[in-house]
Chains A and B, each alone.
Chain A
Amino acid sequence: MRNRFQKILATLATAATIALPAAGASAQDVIKVGILHSLSGTMAISETTLKDVMLMLIEEQNKKGGLLGKKLEAVVVDPASNWPLFAEKARELLTKDKVAATFGCWTSVSRKSVLPVFEELNGILFYPVQYEGEESSRNIFYTGAAPNQQAIPAVDYLMENEGVERWVLEGTDYVYPRTTNKILEAYLKAKGVKDEDISVNYTPFGHSDWQTRVADIKKFGSAGKKTAVVSTINGDANVPFYKELANQGIKATDIPVVAFSVGEEELAGIDTKPLVGHLAAWNYFQSVDTAENNDFIAKWKAFTRNDKRVTNDPMEAHVIGFSMWVKAVEKAGSTDPDAVIDALIGVSVPNLSGGYSTMMPNHHITKPVLIGEIQEDGQFSVVSQTPGLVVGDEWSDYLDGSKDLIADWRAPLSCGNFNVKTGKCGGQGPVAQ
């Protein structure tokens, strides 16, 4: 018992402190890559996997001979799901470890917390998670989906294929669901959906008693029009939500639920048999049948030595982000942040769903949008895919105040919030910092 305890303490200690430089390698011939993901606390459930995937990618790159003739070295820090700690750890990575690039963050609030640090110290952050948009920083590259790469195609799918006329927008009470729902509400109204056919509702983080909400959804769905739920419910609250749906017998054929935060990892904790047919919108699913993806899954299972480990969308975003960074560094011939930031725009790398993703001047990438239905085995079956790639739209076209804004980080403009009406840089969006 004592021995095991010590071992656990030891693992804790290594996870919390910075990984030591590899023996024999001097500071000159390594390039450091920062990994800023929570390994403890509430967000560990999602972020630990991303740390592992980064370690795998770095190991693989080193096997290929590293980058610019130097070895890559991962610097793992644990911000412990604590938002101010994210900023502190980011500062530590940039000033003490002098990392060339950082891959990290999950929640928007953690990204907002590190943003000023990366701007002040001129670092590079790759952010791999779908988010609410309304932001574009010179120092951040957004490899997850913007609302137009996830939410809007999903709503379109439900309208066209399921004939949905009534909408429940159900979310956890924080910035991502609130902004996404605001955009969706504006979009639905633009499509002619009436006020009384939209119900927006928020629940607290980790909400576990869904009886009343599910009963209300059932009631809302009995107005004689086809109803669907658009769920931006966050991580932990999803399992009880889906369990309650199953218990109250709401099937996907009656009221389908389309989720933006539920992937293969989240489904791992639920018996999915009663949930078959509920939907999720992502830019990647583990079930995508391409050579690149099968190869990635095989490598991932070998790396984690676990046959049951699943892959998900933010992991793919890191895969894309990492190969983009590698390509940009090779193009620039150095890891100098200014050179790499300029080199990154226009870089195009293969994604795992059989196409290419390109970094756009607004620091968002092009992605296909896939709609998947939950299967009995906890995987998704792709039922719809956008014919081409969708460009991430950082400032939503459906929100007042941000529809006139664009971001373009190329030389003459170099602005994250250029107002096309006033012709000035610095127009503020409703949610921008």
Chain B
Amino acid sequence: MSRLLCLILALACGLFAAPVCAAPADTGDALLLIASGRFPDIEKGVALLARSGDARTQAIIEALRDGRLAVAADKRVVIEGANGSWSEAATGEALAEAPPSPKAVRLNNRIRRAVEAALGALTLMAPDAAARRQAAEAVFRSRDATALATLDEAIAREEVAGIRRLMGEARAAILLGDAGASDLQKIEAVDILATRADQDALALLRAAAAQGSPTVREAAEGAITAVERRLAVLSMLQNVWYGLSLGSVLLLAAIGLAITFGVMGIINMAHGEMVMIGAYTTFVIQELARTHAPGLFDWTLPLAIPMAFLVAALVGVAIERGIIRHLYGRPLETLLATWGVSLILQQTVRSLFGPTNREVGAPSYMAGAFDLGGLTITYGRLWIIVFSFAVFSALIVALKATSFGLKIRAVTQNRRMAASMGIRTSWVDTMAFALGSGIAGVAGVALSQIDNVSPNLGQSYIVDSFMVVVFGGVGNLWGTLVSALTLGIANKFLEPFAGAVLGKILLLVFLILFIQKRPRGLFALRGRAVEA
């Protein structure tokens, strides 16, 4: 009946092309509700709109989602288009002039959920595969029983196997929660969800096991144990992955220190600040890209790596030439002096950039996550792991295969002999310190992606860095690698059982005991260098 009315109205609109012509009744009512500005009414309006079957529905709801739907002072509901143009929400007609003081319709989480569900049902048959996938996921989450008919039709038409499976899962999710579905349908749904076997499926199965009929309950319980077993295995793998990721962060933070402290023997308390300087360099480069070349944003991180290395290395040279050079062989004074330097650097950055956090954005290839057989792997963490191993390999090559590396090793093993062979030992010291600082700066580029870019950034890593180097064995780069990964994985296996606080304490206690037993760490250097 109302369809017919719509049709007549639409025809009339076409005939007279009059702007006064109202949209179909449902849409008009829905827009009235949306214009009220009260959250419960807006939610009702969205639901009404979704049921109306009006052709404008999708455009209106999308505008609502994007914050482009607005209510003008004269209570008209309008949509903001590209470059400041406006159109009537109900008819889609462009407005000649901007409406008086339009106010965007506000959303809350309930409305957002309603919008997501409505759009999911509307875009199930969209031509774009990505949109269909998104729609299937939205329906899976909303479990909106009214979408069932559309879903069935969409499944029949879907050609991409992956999306069809997703739609099937969405259908199963709806059926499982639908009181009207038969037991047979529900058991079938349980089977489909059991193959999905993730947290969401588990949630649905648990809900079904709590309320279904005895046969459904039995099937659901069986599926739950199977899914739980799979998830337990997955959580082990996940712990390993998280450990690897934490280990790579520790490795990045500690690897510069492995040179300055490990190889050169300088207790450098300002090491964390080198990391911070690297992070701030990234911030500056991103700011420049934002204001001058927005298209280059994705390239800011690769660009920041050499810049951070240079900046941190230069600061390192200044510190070495200005302070540490005069304090070789006096570890206590070095410790105090570099600690002072770290405070000065922190306060300098605080004065220049302000005490608050700075935003360093993630380039597109580092945002989001993907699913690997049930494991959620975030791109950011993946890149950091790759990056830290790359830095480590580069450093190994630099020390083992270049003449500069040879000189560093010669000087640390026997300074006087190296000097008498014509090596400028003080120059090598400066360069080695610059190398360690530069690598810390590079670490800052990576850490800016996962941590605060604030003047305190370095402080949170300094203790961990020393821990890694000491545990791995001072002077041994491979030891640093093994120790960082061990500590990372051990930490992540302890955390679920002991909690983050106790886990860290347990790890520290273990380290203290270990150092008592083996004061030189996992891989102790042997030979003359140790005695020197």
Contact = CB atoms under 8 A, between A and B. Distances in A.
Interface of A: 8, 11-12, 39-40, 42, 44-45, 48-49, 161-162, 173, 201-204, 206-209, 211-213, 215-216, 218-219, 221-224, 236, 239-240, 243-244, 246-249, 252-254, 256, 265-266, 268-271, 276-277, 373, 376, 381, 383
Interface in B351-368: 351, 354-359, 361-362, 367-368
Nearest to B491: A209
A12 B206 CA distance: 60
A45 B450 contact: no
Contact of A161 (B106, B110, B206): B110
B203 A222 contact: yes
Interface in B243-285: 245-246, 249
Given A204-B501, A222-B203, A271 B362 contact: yes
B454 to A, nearest CB: 6
Nearest to B376: A248
Interface stretch (B330-338, B423-431, B436-444, B492-500): B492-500
B323 to A, nearest CB: 14
Contacts of B246: 209, 211
Nearest to A163: B110
A40 to B, nearest CB: 6
Interface string B177-217: 00000000000000000000001101110110010000000
B109 interface: yes
Which 5 A-B pairs give the minimum distances between C-beta atoms?
A: A269-B357, A224-B207, A222-B199, A222-B203, A247-B378
Interface of B: 39, 67, 106-110, 112-113, 116, 141, 199-200, 202-204, 206-207, 210, 235, 238-239, 242, 245-246, 249, 343, 346-348, 350-351, 354-359, 361-362, 367-369, 376, 378-381, 450-456, 459-460, 491-492, 495-496, 499-501, 504
A191 B238 CA distance: 36
Contacts of A173: 501
B342 to A, nearest CB: 12
B398 to A, nearest CB: 28
B462 to A, nearest CB: 12
B495 A208 contact: no
Contacts, number: 156
Contact of A236 (B107, B210, B376, B456): B456
30 contacts: A8-B351, A12-B351, A39-B355, A40-B347, A40-B350, A44-B350, A45-B356, A48-B354, A173-B501, A202-B499, A202-B501, A203-B500, A203-B501, A206-B456, A212-B239, A212-B496, A215-B238, A222-B199, A236-B452, A239-B452, A240-B450, A247-B379, A247-B380, A248-B378, A253-B141, A269-B358, A270-B359, A271-B359, A277-B109, A373-B108
Given A45-B456, A224-B207, A243-B450, 6 more contacts: A45-B454, A211-B242, A268-B356, A270-B357, A270-B359, A383-B39
A124 to B, nearest CB: 27
B270 to A, nearest CB: 15
Nearest to B246: A209
A45 B500 contact: no
A42 B354 CA distance: 13
B110 A162 contact: yes
A277 B141 contact: no
Contact of B203 (A207, A223, A253, A265): A223
Contacts of B203: 221-224
A221 B202 CA distance: 10
A408 to B, nearest CB: 38
B210 A224 contact: yes
Contacts of A215: 235, 238, 242, 376
Contact of A208 (B67, B204, B460): B460
Contacts of B206: 222-224
Contact of B357 (A239, A244, A248): A239
A252 B207 contact: no
Contacts of A247: 367-369, 378-381
B356 A265 contact: yes
A383 B108 contact: yes
Contacts of B235: 215
A269 B356 CA distance: 8
A239 to B, nearest CB: 5
A269 B361 contact: no
Contacts of B238: 215
Nearest to A173: B501
B460 A206 contact: yes
B359 A240 contact: no
B344 to A, nearest CB: 8
Contact of B455 (A44, A224, A266): A44
A240 B451 contact: yes
